[in-house]
Amino acid sequence: MKTRDRINAALKTAMKEKQAGRLSTLRLINAAIKDRDIAARGTEDDAPGGVSDEAVRQILGRMVKQRQESVRAYEEGGRLELADREREEIEIITEFLPRQLSEAETDRAIDEAIARNSASSIRDMGRVMSDLKSRHAGQMDFGAVGPRVKDRLA
């Protein structure tokens, strides 16, 4: 089932079960996807059913990252109730993302990408990161993976 269909099914369920917080978050997700659909009209990304599943996962990943930054800001400002609300939204959004790789799986994926690209120096980092992003999009935090790849290639 496509991610968009799973989100719509969850939205209907949240409406039926009167889950106000969950419904609000799912509506935000749908609005972001529809915005992307509208922006893609008339471009090469324009598809009959809307943007691709990969684009939907990118939108969700961006939404999670925004909320993680908000949690940090709210905690620094002493607004713990707002930080908790953002964490709840993160949980809801991540339900629709692929499972995140564990530390060991991430290390294995980095090693395999380095081997596949015959990377031997820091100059090869771009190719390795590109390989990881194409194979493991949405499954790892590339902000955290970058320094680990750099350490291995240094």
Q: Give the pLDDT confidence score for residue 18 in this predicted structure.
A: 94
Q: Give the pLDDT confidence score for residue 133 in this predicted structure.
A: 85
| CATH of region 3-94 | 1.10.1510.10
Q: Give the pLDDT confidence score for residue 46 in this predicted structure.
A: 60
Q: Give the pLDDT confidence score for residue 61 in this predicted structure.
A: 85
How many CB atoms are located within 10 Å of the residue 126 CB? 12
Q: Where in the chain is the domain with CATH 1.10.1510.10?
A: 3-94
Q: Which residues of the chain have pLDDT under 70?
A: 1, 44-49
| CATH of region 103-153 | 1.10.10
Q: Where in the chain is the domain with CATH 1.10.10?
A: 103-153
Q: Give the pLDDT confidence score for residue 54 in this predicted structure.
A: 80
Q: Give the pLDDT confidence score for residue 144 in this predicted structure.
A: 84
Q: Give the pLDDT confidence score for residue 30 in this predicted structure.
A: 93
Q: Give the pLDDT confidence score for residue 86 in this predicted structure.
A: 94
